[in-house]
Structure formats: structure tokens, C-alpha cells
Amino acid sequence: MEQEAYAGPLSGRHLVLGLSGGIACYKAAEFCRALVKAGASVQVVMTPSACQFITPVTLQALSGRTVFTDAWDAREGNSMAHINLSRQADAIVVAPASADFMARLLHGRADDLLSLMCLARPLGRVPLLLAPAMNREMYAHPATQRNLEQLRADGARVLGVGAGDQACGETGDGRMLEPQELLEEVVAFFTPKVLAGQRVVVTAGPTYEAIDPVRGITNLSSGKMGFALAQAAWRAGAQVTLVAGPVSLPTPRGVQRVDVQSAQAMWQATEPLAAQASVFIAAAAVADWRPAQVAGQKIKKTADGQAPALEFVQNTDILASIARSDRARSGQLYCVGFAAESQDLLNQAREKRVRKGVPLLVGNLGPQTFGRDDNALIVVDAAGSEELPRASKAALATRLIERIALELKKAAS
């Protein structure tokens, strides 16, 4: 399969990135770069206070566009930058949004280009996203909390804040979200909520079957596909729980994570979660067998060089067991399986779909995808199969979530 071109989750979007005064302006530089890498075109607008923390030159280099700082900028022939820039935008994202800036915004103040533009934007067409950033006491102050509540009521999307060390030396709530978290919030904002109201459980990664305290049996699954599916499902509006084997991947934003080691532990964690879910996606590479006995201490080499004799017992087939449940058979739970094969992918995937008893099965060639950021898939259902050309796992996850949402819609009609 050939590599499929993928422009990014914000491809075709034009965003105005506003910076108000605050030390978190240093994060805005990385956030701007992340937006551009995600496919967006970015026009930066800075308040005079923001220019005290970071230079317009930095943001110009990262956005590829001249930065606006003055409402009277002569580059706009009609001297109406606040009108022109807001009309061109798909959204205005203010990051950082200081306590002072939000207070002025609340009262309709328009004494700099950024606040003027926010006030002049078409309310029904250009959404406003605010990323608060301030000292913990400022954030907790009743006046700030009242302002945040009213801004939400006025239609602004107020993003959350982080907790931790602050530039002032104190610790607590009020930090601006990290650039990657902000990017996730923006991407999710623009993602159609095709799974709104759905509860999704995803398994991901390998399992580890202990032989003794220092050795075990595992596989090369990185968990990246499953994590991408959990991320895509959250973006699409679902409540998502991710049951993850032993991997070193960050938890996708908005996703509840349960870490496990062995196949039996994954089964014990997944079964009760699936009993409350509407979609189950089994993307984990679960070990089929485990050692019948686990040695209490490290198994030592013997003088004769004889390898220890290991006996194995079969693990619970998580996907097949859940697919046979009453909720799955009655259509209350939609099950999706994965098949990591080494040859004859299409036939193996078709056979596995029938054997597992699932409506949809996704196949890939394990040796060609383990550990990589891209993949090529075959999607098999009762009607036939579809090839998804090689693309990023994030892009493929988005397509699979859209497919699952379509199947749910068909089933409900």
C-alpha cells in the first residue's frame, strides 16, 4: 500500500492566535508551531503587554506571517484590522489569556487590537477560545471565577488550566495548559462530535507474561494505534477509557487510563468496563498463552546448559469473550477487533472476524507497523473489505472512528 498524503487535523483552518501579557507567552511560541504543524494557517495578534514577554519577531518566524500589535496598523488599507482579521478567522484562540484581559473582555472593553477584534468578531461564525494563565491566587479570586463563568455564558470556550509550579515561586492552579494540551483542545473543538453520548473502551499495547521476577514473554506492540484511537474517540465526543499494557506513552487528553501488565489483568480490567460501554475496540496485542507457573526467584542457568522446561496455559480471549456477551449480541455493545498478522493478511482477517464474532475487524501486518508512527490497514466486515493506504496512525484512527460512528448510526436507524 502506498503512503497516503495527510495534511493534518487542522488542515484548511485559519486561526487568529492572540497573546495577552503573561509569562506563559513563552509557551505560545511552541503552541503556534504546533498549530502550523497540524495544518492550520496562523495569524498572531499581540497586546502591548505580551510584547514585554516575547518578541513579535519570534511569532512571525513561527507563523510565517507578520504579527499585528497595533489597531492602527497601516498595512490594512481601511485601517480596520480588527474587522479584517476577525472576518478571515475560523476561530480566535487567546493563549495566554490573562486575568486582566478576560476582565476587560467581559465588560466589552476594546482598548487594544486583540480585545477590539474579540469584540468585533461575528459571534455566530467565529468562536472564541480562551486559555487562562495567571497566579493561583488570581485564578481562585471570586472576581476571576465570576468573569470566567460570565465569559462562558457569553459564548466563549474557556479551556481548563494546569496545576503545578508557577513563575512566582508558588504552586497551584492557574498555569496555562501545555502546548500539546492546547493543540488537543483546538483539534477537538473542530472535530465533529459523531460519538457524542457514547462510552468507548479501548485496549492498547502488548501484555507481559512473567516467567520469573525478572523475565517474561511479550511482543513488539508499541500501543500507538490504540492510543491514537482513544484520542480520536475523545475528539469525537465520546467518554473514553483506555486499558493499556506496559507502554511508555502519554495519556491522551480527556481519556481515563487503566494500566495493566498481563493478559489476565487486562481481562479483569476490561470486562466490567465493557459491560457499561457502547463501543469496545480491542487494539491490544494480547498474549495467547502464559506460563503455567511463575518462578518465585530468578531461574538460574545450570552447569549442563539445559534450558528450563516451560509449560503454558491459554489466556482468556478478551475480544471473543466480550463479543459473546448478551450486550454485544443484542447490539448494545459494538465490538471492533484487530488482527496483527505476518502474512496472508486479508484471509487471516476475514477468518478472525468470523471466529471472534465481531462485526468489524481491522488487520495489519505486525512486522511492518510495530513501533512506527504510520500504518496500513485492511478493514473487514460482513459485506467485504476496504484497504486504508499507509498513513499516520492518528489519521487512520480518525477514519476508523468515523467508520464506527457510521455503523452505529446505521444500527440505530
pTM: 0.91
From residue 280, alpha-carbon distances to 253, 358, 386, 413 in Å are 19, 10, 21, 20
Q: Could you check whether 14-190 and 199-291+313-412 share the same CATH topology?
A: yes
CA 36/CA 29 separation, integer angstroms: 11
Per-residue pLDDT, 76: 74
Helices (H), 160-209: 179-190
Residue with cell 465569559: 151
For residue 158, the surrounding DSSP H or E stretch is strand 157-158
* Residue 126 burial (CB count, 10 A): 18
Q: What is the pLDDT of residue 4?
A: 52
pLDDT of residue 245: 97
Given this model, what pLDDT does residue 83 score? Answer: 86
Q: Facing residues of 93 across strands?
A: 17, 129
Do residues 278 and 199 make contact, with C-beta atoms less than 8 angstroms apart?
Answer: yes
* Per-residue pLDDT, 213: 94
In the β-sheet with 157-158, what is the strand arrangement from edge to edge? 41-46, 14-19, 91-97, 128-132, 157-158
- The domain segmentation of the chain, as residue ranges, is 14-190, 199-291+313-412
pLDDT at 7: 67
What is the pLDDT at residue 1? 44
Amino acid at 228: A
Q: Quick one: pLDDT at residue 364?
A: 87
**Choices 3.10.50.40, 3.30.365.10, 3.30.499.10, 3.40.50.10300: CATH for 199-291+313-412:** 3.40.50.10300
- Averaged in consecutive runs of 10 residues, what is the pLDDT profile of the chain (413 residues)? 65 97 96 97 97 97 96 79 90 98 94 95 96 96 97 96 90 95 97 97 97 93 96 98 97 97 98 97 95 92 86 96 96 94 87 94 83 90 92 95 95 84
CATH superfamily of the 14-190 domain: Flavin prenyltransferase-like (3.40.50.1950)
Which residues are known to be catalytic? Answer: 168
